[in-house]
Each structure stands twice: as structure tokens, then as C-alpha cells.
């Protein structure tokens, strides 16, 4: 019995290796990275997201907790606590090619003098390159808004675009009101730096449904 098991195991392994040689596993297509080398030795790279077309729908549960939906935004709103939202997007390069997936978590954090502040964390996942993690304080409340018993994404909430069509969302904690690069894997490993997040409105319908672009511009360098 043991001899038969070992023979079957080895034969199966050999068959798998032969099949892999004939029918190789799919490889993620890698587009050339659009990176600008800076004079100080760092590098700059920008990423683009279009809403609502790049929003991906999330499930109705998160770790067993019921989640509300707001046009692609999952909202966890426990009693007596500020809501937390999660979003998933297709991630594009500056040539508008889809290169990966971006997730964003937004909530309210304790601030100075007991005041709460809006904060966000981004995770950029790019196959064949790695993962880049970002965090920032927000200059505006970009979390979902509850209107008439339902949740709306910030970009579709009444009055969000009342004072302009281009907002810089980043407001620290890095100098100059920029967000901070936290960590990375793959080719993003050991990178440190800053980034800015800008929202640009392209169209606003009468029912407040909007479309526009999110631009993430990163400036990074290797840790010394």
C-alpha cells in the first residue's frame, strides 16, 4: 500500500511538472512603469482613478457585520461611533492603462483638543510590481454622508462641489500638507516618501451624480 501511494504521488508530481512545461501558468502583463527620476535622487510616479467607472462593488458583509452600500462604497456604521467606509477601485497609470487595484479606508480619528479629523489609508496593489501603502489626514470630510435615510458617496452628496471643481484632499501629516508613504512590498520595499491626492470634477448631473478623476502623485526614495 505504501509503495503504491508513493508511486502515485511521484507519478502525479511528474505529470504536473510536464503539464506546466507544456501549458505554463498565466503571467500578469506588466506595462512599462511611468516613473520620473528627480534631481534629488528620488522618483515620482502618479496613479489615476476615474469615478464612478473604476469603482468595484463590495459585498454586503464585512467580518460578519452588516454593511450599508453607497454606490460602491461599503459603510460600517456602529452605534455611537463615526462611520468607516471602504472602497475598491481599478488603478490606472498616467496613460490610462489599468495596472492594478486600489483600496481606500476612510474614517474619523481623534485630533487636537478633542476634535475629530477625517483620515484615509490607501493600499495600491500592482501585479508583478508589489504593494504600496499610504496614509493621510484629509482636508475635507470625504467619507460617505447619510442623507434621507440612505448613504451617499461624498462626491455625490449635496453641496460637496459647491465651492469648486478641484480639491486637494491631502492635509498632512507630512510637511507641506502631504500624505505619508508607509510601507511596500516587491519593488516598493524600503521606499519612503510623500504623496498628494487631488479630486477633479468632470461632470455633475442635476441629481448630484458626478464623475471625475482621483490623482495620486507619489514622491519616494530608498531608505538610507
Say whether pLDDT at 62 is over 60.
no
Cα distances (angstroms) measured from residue 28 to each of 102, 126, 149? 17, 10, 43
Q: Which residue has the higher pLDDT, 102 or 10?
A: 102
The arithmetic mean of pLDDT across residues 32-48, rounded, is: 87
Q: What distance in Å separates the CA atoms of residue 173 and residue 6, rounded to the nearest whole number?
A: 59
Strand partners, 137: 119
Q: What is the pTM of this model?
A: 0.82
The pLDDT of residue 13:
47
Question: For residue range 111-140, what is the model confidence (pLDDT) as tens digits?
Answer: 666 677 899 999 999 998 999 999 999 998
Q: What distance in Å separates the CA atoms of residue 155 and residue 153, rounded to the nearest whole number?
A: 5
- Supply the DSSP string of 118-169, one letter for each residue: EEEEEEEEETTTEEEEEEEEBSS--S-EEETTEEE-GGGSTTTTTT-SEEE-
Say whether pLDDT at 35 is over 80.
yes
Strand partners, 151: 146
Question: For residue range 144-196, what is the model confidence (pLDDT) as tens digits?
Answer: 888 888 888 889 888 899 999 999 999 999 999 999 999 999 999 999 999 99
Q: Which residue has the higher pLDDT, 33 or 103?
A: 103
Provide, rounded to the nearest whole percent, the portion of the chain with pLDDT above 90. Answer: 49
Amino acid at each position: 500500500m505504501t509503495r503504491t501511494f508513493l508511486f502515485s504521488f511521484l507519478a502525479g508530481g511528474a505529470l504536473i511538472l510536464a503539464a506546466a512545461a507544456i501549458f505554463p501558468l498565466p503571467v500578469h502583463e506588466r506595462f512599462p512603469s511611468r516613473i520620473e527620476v528627480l534631481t534629488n535622487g528620488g522618483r515620482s510616479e502618479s496613479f489615476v482613478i476615474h469615478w464612478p467607472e473604476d469603482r468595484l462593488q463590495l459585498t454586503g458583509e464585512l467580518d460578519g457585520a452588516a454593511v450599508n452600500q453607497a454606490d460602491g462604497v461599503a459603510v460600517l456604521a456602529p452605534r455611537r461611533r463615526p462611520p468607516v467606509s471602504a472602497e475598491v477601485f481599478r488603478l490606472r497609470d498616467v496613460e490610462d492603462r489599468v495596472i492594478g487595484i486600489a483600496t481606500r479606508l476612510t474614517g474619523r480619528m481623534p485630533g487636537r483638543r478633542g476634535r475629530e479629523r477625517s483620515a484615509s489609508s490607501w493600499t495600491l496593489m500592482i501585479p508583478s510590481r508589489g504593494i504600496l501603502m499610504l496614509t493621510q489626514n484629509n482636508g475635507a470630510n470625504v467619507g460617505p454622508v447619510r442623507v434621507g435615510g440612505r448613504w451617499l458617496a461624498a462626491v455625490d452628496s449635496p453641496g460637496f462641489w459647491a465651492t469648486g471643481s478641484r480639491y486637494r484632499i491631502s492635509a498632512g501629516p507630512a510637511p507641506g500638507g502631504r500624505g505619508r508613504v508607509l510601507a511596500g512590498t516587491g519593488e516598493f520595499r524600503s521606499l519612503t516618501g510623500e504623496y498628494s491626492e487631488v479630486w477633479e470634477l468632470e461632470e455633475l448631473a442635476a441629481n448630484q451624480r458626478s464623475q471625475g478623476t482621483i490623482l495620486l502623485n507619489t514622491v519616494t526614495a530608498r531608505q538610507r
